[in-house]
Structure 1
Amino acid sequence: MIVNRITRERIKIGETDLVLKTDLMKHELPNFILKQRFELKSYIRENPDFLNSFEPVIVEKKNNGEPPLIVSLMARAGRRGEVGPMAAVAGTISQLSMGFMIENGAKYVIVDNGGDVALQTDQDVVVGLYAGESSLSGELGFKIKFGKTPMGVCTSSGTVGHSISFGRSDSVTVFADEASIADALATSIANNALGKKDHDAVQKSLERAEDFRKFMQGVLVVVGESAGTLGKIPKLVQTNKKVVLGDLFEI
């Protein structure tokens, strides 16, 4: 069996801070990301509600035609997750970046944008679980079979990172066909991690997740020492790495 050489690159552009692992490095990717960001910012200048809304937003055709793809994907994800479109921005950029690489001939692509991951691979990989101060953090990972990709694996947290969350989950990790959808659903489910007791917060999150079963493959919720799942998630395996949010990558 021939194993492709995998290279790693970090791309930081404004708020976008992604790690790319691929068998085919394309130096045009940063320009592609710049273009997506420019189109999103241009749309927001004309439609500020798109940036500020915590509720789903409908995007419509303007005189100049269809809205940019990044805007349409974010808006659709927000509607699926019943959250504002910006809840899906990181996952959408990961998804579009992965698509760009695949279209240019890559067979193995993992794009991790601050814990919001889009991947399509020709090898099995392990995605590490980071859940703040929970004892599960850095001890477990999800083994993703290459035949199940492309996939979006996105994590939201009320205790880790800078994203807005109204709940207190250490991590809500959603698995879906698209990273844009996974990102929005993770945010929505994490917002419902409420209750003084950890197991109550997990239960409330899973109750909310029931509303989205048709849009995702599965979800793992961690609050303190309590955890719960809904749907189908990849096989959990032990790891010995203190990974960061969304980190990967044992093969």
Structure 2
Amino acid sequence: MIREHFEFRQTIATILADDPRHIAAARSGMMAARQEVERQITLDPYFSATLEPYTPENPGRAVGRMARAAGEAGVGPMAAVAGAIAWAGVEAMVEAGASFGLIDNGGDIALVSDREVKIGVFAGGSSLSGRIAFLLPPEEEILGICTSSATVGPSISFGIADAVTVFSPDVAAADAWATAICNRITTDDTSVLDALPGTGIQGVLAIVGDVVIRWGDLPRIVQAKVDERLITAGRSPV
């Protein structure tokens, strides 16, 4: 397996692949999506500034995905930028013939896989951080596994959760909903999860301190020892 670090401005990602050609495809796909987002921000700075749903006129593919996902989740479109860029990268890998490809864009993951994959959970100061992982079966279709945290990383959050991980074949939606859920969920109030049926979200795992909240269909969770050196840390996307 090839592991490659990708960094361009605020985008900091890890690419996993079996073939150097698929690494190149991932880089190209991410760059194309990122450049589309940058053009949108240049033409319409409000797109990157708003924390409310917003759909620009005639959006491109990545921007349109971000706006749609954010509108459904009730957050600003930049809440879905990392997922949308990772999604574009893995789509390019598949188009190049990859049966295995994973992009971790600062905790927002898109993957396609012909094998079992273990994905560790990093949850800040929680005692569960680095001790559990998702054991994913082979995934013939692209899957998004996106995580938001109020206690880890540079992104804006209005919540208290140490980690909220969301699974969906719509990677932008997984990213947007991870933000929306993290903004609102507490150990006493999980009502934000009531909005998920019909959205395409498959499952949610939220960690608040030492409390674990589950919703929907989640992969098997196993004990693990997560190597923090493998964590892809991103910068604020704005």
What TM-score does the superposition give when structure 1 sets the normalisation length?
0.86
AA partner of residue 78 (structure 2) = M
Contact 1:202 1:222 in 2 (8 A): no
Match of 1:236, SS state, is strand
Please give the residue correspondences for 1:135-146 in structure 2 after superposition, counting only pairs within 5 Å: 135-146=127-138
1:180 maps onto 2:165 in alignment: no
C-alpha deviations, 1:29-86, integer Å up to 9, x for none? 434433322221111121121111111112223xxxxx22111111011012111000
Sequence identity of aligned pairs in percent? 38
* Structure 2 unmatched ranges of 5 or more: 233-238
Aligned twin of 1:7? 2
In structure 2, C-alpha distance between the alignment counterparts of 1:191 and 1:47, rounded to whole Å: 26
Contact 2:27 2:89 in 1 (8 A): no
1:42 maps onto 2:39 in alignment: yes
Match of 2:184, SS state, is coil
Distance 1:246 1:235, change over 3 A: farther
In structure 2, C-alpha distance between the alignment counterparts of 1:33 and 1:150, rounded to whole Å: 15
C-alpha deviations, 1:175-194, integer Å up to 9, x for none? 1112111000000000003x
In structure 2, C-alpha distance between the alignment counterparts of 1:244 and 1:184, rounded to whole Å: 26
Please give the residue correspondences for 1:32-111 in structure 2 after superposition, counting only pairs within 5 Å: 32-61=29-58, 67-111=59-103
In structure 2, C-alpha distance between the alignment counterparts of 1:99 and 1:44, rounded to whole Å: 23
In structure 2, C-alpha distance between the alignment counterparts of 1:73 and 1:28, rounded to whole Å: 20
In structure 2, C-alpha distance between the alignment counterparts of 1:190 and 1:41, rounded to whole Å: 26
The one of 226, 231, 236 aligned to 2:221: 236
Deviation, 1:246, is 6.4
Aligned twin of 1:24? 19
C-alpha deviations, 1:144-193, integer Å up to 9, x for none? 11147421000000000001000011000001112111000000000003
Deviation, 1:28, is 4.7
Match of 1:41, SS state, is helix
Deviation, 1:90, is 0.4
The one of 185, 189, 193 aligned to 2:181: 189
Distance 1:98 1:218, change over 3 A: same
1:166 maps onto 2:158 in alignment: yes
Distance 1:55 1:246, change over 3 A: farther
In structure 2, C-alpha distance between the alignment counterparts of 1:228 and 1:115, rounded to whole Å: 19
In structure 1, C-alpha distance between the alignment counterparts of 2:101 and 2:205, rounded to whole Å: 23
Q: Which moved more, 1:23-32 or 1:100-109?
A: 23-32
Aligned twin of 2:146? 154
In structure 1, C-alpha distance between the alignment counterparts of 2:139 and 2:153, rounded to whole Å: 31
What TM-score does the superposition give when structure 2 sets the normalisation length?
0.91
Contact 2:25 2:93 in 1 (8 A): no
Aligned twin of 1:3? none
In structure 1, C-alpha distance between the alignment counterparts of 2:116 and 2:31, rounded to whole Å: 30
Contact 2:123 2:129 in 1 (8 A): yes
The one of 195, 205, 217 aligned to 1:220: 205
Deviation, 1:242, is 4.0
Q: Which moved more, 1:155-164 or 1:31-40?
A: 31-40
In structure 1, C-alpha distance between the alignment counterparts of 2:188 and 2:49, rounded to whole Å: 29
Aligned twin of 2:195? 211
Contact 2:99 2:140 in 1 (8 A): no
